[in-house]
Chain A
Amino acid sequence: MSEPILRAINLTKSFFLGETIYAVNDVSLAVAAGEFVVITGPSGSGKSTLLSLLGGLDRPISGEVVLAGHRYSKLSENGLALLRRRHIGYVFQFFNLINHLTAVENVSLPMRLVMRNRREIRERAEYLLETVGLAGRRDHRPTQLSGGEQQRVAIARALANEPKVVLADEPTGNLDSKTSAGIAELFKRLNEEHGQTFVVISHDDMFHEYADRVVYMRDGRIEKVV
């Protein structure tokens, strides 16, 4: 295994809901650059919480996350934002597209934080839409797109700033099986062609065949790694 690009070291995150619930409990995980990792497990096993900790969206109560040599605990909120901007792409279960923007504008959004040249932004956004197979839908708004198409737009948006790591939280959780298969294949293709690291949370077994490793979680802990 090559040098890990993303490492979780003894991560713990708890919530107080009448009693203390450990959503993530002393989890350690190393993800190598270019690896395709699937995290799976039953509902409430702490997958999404782990992903938000890996993405720097949330802070653990203990433990550490290191991405490309950057220790999250040493970074401020703004520092984490910069890290996300440069190194992380995020894909959500419910796509989280902005309805009043077109597909190409949605994809452009993260680039506007980095690039200033509008033409370059648009060209790259169009290229990314083409990559995810939506060249002909770039001027459509999310409401004019199917679920699968919306998720492809969301994936293109996640790739906008050429992140080292793409984190996907149940990317097919809202899609039918045929569309889900298409998305899974797209992830794998991007992983192979662009060498990007993918950490995908999914209930869906179809991801397993594409994964380099499958991490099983239960009760906030890693149960096994296959």
Chain B
Amino acid sequence: MAVVGMAVAGMVLTSSFCLSAGYPAGVEWVYRQFLGGEVLVYAGRWVVYPDEAVGAGQGWWGMSWLGVGELSHLGWFHPELFRDGFLRPLEAGEGHLDWGVLEEVVEEEALAGYYPCLLLPALMVVKEEGEVERWYWSPLRGRVVEVDEERYRFRELLVDGRVLGEGDRGQWVCLVDARREDVGVPSLGVGEEIELRLPRVGYDASGRPYFDYGHLESLTLQVVGTYQLPTRYIYYLDELEDLAAAQLYWATPEVLVTVETFMEIWRWLGGQGLPPIRQAALMVDDLSRLENLVGNLRRRLPDHTVISVPQQVRIAHARGLPEAPVGLPREVLEERQRRWTRARVQLALPMDVRLVILGLVYLVAGLLLAGNLLVMVSRRRREIAILKVAGAQSRDIAVMVISEALFLALLGGLVGFAVMSPMVLWTHLSNRADVVEVLVRALGQLTVVTVGFTLLFAWLPAWRTARLTAMEVFRNE
């Protein structure tokens, strides 16, 4: 019973630690920060595939509308995680997420929060020689200043200028990607102006909004800052056949404005109420809930694509994403660790809950252990008496009992660890690279906690047994 109790406790501790260690391991954190959450919901249902013909060295992604049931969820992944290129929600068809449904889902599922992707189609206008206008796809995106500051750490992504702040709400200022040229869009510097053309918003007979590209409105914004989005490292052999590393960035043509400015533009274009959402990122408190949550969301939102980021990463790995986080330079790992430390604040509550559950499980396991030890020593009173006659001191007996308790507890803990490890490996979707480290740390934690609890709960049986005298036993036999 003691072994079984400790095995259950070991299983709970292993799974709890390993699942919560997803972010500390630094594997998925970058994706969370990068994509805004652990779950992405795209309006409509989509499959994406690369179209090598578009863009020099930059694969764009074509999209096909498929009906419900025609795809398995494994068919979806975020292209960025696989190869160069990215999904553009604006082009992702006709669907849009309903604000109300999203809020309802967030409320029901007790999610940590969600972050809708507010996008408006926009074209950047560049006047070339002879007053010839050249247009570039450059969507307008509304950003929540606080979220950018706290979650996305935009300040750290800044290349030049400043981030959007309180004073920029409703102002005609924007941020642009410093690497816009990588996606074929002219670059812009701080202080420069960007001229955009945006389609007016119309409503069809059913009241659904659409963009009227026949009527474009002109808008000028001033660039106050440029940023870049580092994604991952790649490792390769250079000309000298030496291993070299390079940081990759996700380049985007988007123009970022504050959500307040975005809403003003939306209304100016003729939009009413809230704009359509083509993509939303949802945050969960605990990775262990993630796949259940995704399943629930898929049932709740049958007409939309719901994908978990760890799932995506795993699929991307399976498809050959070559850049595992293993071997990242120390400073990058340290930075990820710092980010995780800050992020823990957000996760404090669920972690407390987990600790309580873990504590209860260990309490039960510890009581089982103590009970079993008491039974065990009561059955072995004669043996202990013989040892006492042979000259065993109280300390020897106590050490014997505690050693046996430790053996049982660690055996149970190891059984629990062994049972849980494959499940953790399976559930710990994207941790291909760091999973060994996570498991080793889990094993270390398991050992420390198990030893601690065993000493606590074995103390009483050990003390009682050590006090036993040979005469007491022989007289009572």
Contacts and interface: CB of A to CB of B under 8 A. Distances in A.
The answer to whether A and B assemble together is: yes
Interface of A: 52, 55, 57-58, 77-78, 81-86, 88, 90, 96, 98, 109-110, 113-114, 157, 160-161
A110 B392 CA distance: 8
Contacts of A98: 382-383, 386
Q: Interface residues of B: mostly helix, strand, loop or mixed?
A: helix
Contacts of A82: 391, 393
B390 A85 contact: yes
A37 B394 CA distance: 31
A90 B389 contact: yes
Contacts of B471: 52, 57-58
B395 interface: yes
Contacts of A77: 393-394, 469
A78 B470 contact: no
Contact of A84 (B383, B389, B394, B395): B389
B394 to A, nearest CB: 6
Given A57-B471, A78-B395, A84 B386 contact: no
Contact of B393 (A81, A109, A110, A161): A81
B85 to A, nearest CB: 66
B390 A96 contact: no
B318 interface: no
Contacts of B432: none
Nearest 3 CB-CB pairings of A with B:
A85-B391, A110-B390, A84-B391
B388 interface: yes
Nearest to A100: B383
A109 B390 contact: yes
Nearest to B387: A109
Nearest to B391: A85
A45 to B, nearest CB: 18
A57 B391 contact: no
Contacts of A110: 390-391
Contacts of A109: 386-387, 390
12 contacts: A55-B389, A57-B388, A57-B471, A77-B394, A77-B469, A81-B388, A83-B391, A88-B391, A90-B390, A98-B382, A98-B386, A110-B390
B396 interface: yes
Nearest to B388: A81
B169 to A, nearest CB: 76
Contacts of B470: 57
A157 B387 CA distance: 11
Contacts of A52: 471
B471 to A, nearest CB: 5
Contacts of A85: 390-392
Nearest to A55: B389
Interface string B353-394: 000000000000000000000000000001101111111111
A86 B391 CA distance: 8
Contacts of A113: 387, 390-392, 396
Given A81-B394, A160-B390, 8 more contacts: A57-B469, A82-B391, A82-B393, A84-B390, A109-B387, A109-B390, A161-B390, A161-B391
B389 A78 contact: no
Nearest to B390: A110
Nearest to A84: B391
Interface string B392-421: 111110000000000000000000000000
Interface in B121-147: none
Given A52-B471, A58-B471, A96 B391 contact: no
Nearest to A85: B391
Contacts of B390: 84-85, 90, 109-110, 113, 157, 160-161
Nearest to A78: B393
A114 B392 CA distance: 10
Contacts of B388: 57, 81
B355 to A, nearest CB: 40
A54 to B, nearest CB: 13
Contact of A96 (B386, B395, B396, B469): B386
B439 to A, nearest CB: 34
Nearest to A81: B393
A160 B387 CA distance: 13
A161 B471 CA distance: 21
Contacts of A96: 382, 385-386, 389
Nearest to B386: A96
A97 to B, nearest CB: 8
Nearest to A114: B391
- For B382, B383, B391, B392, the residue with the greatest tally of chain A CB atoms inside 10 Å of its CB is B391
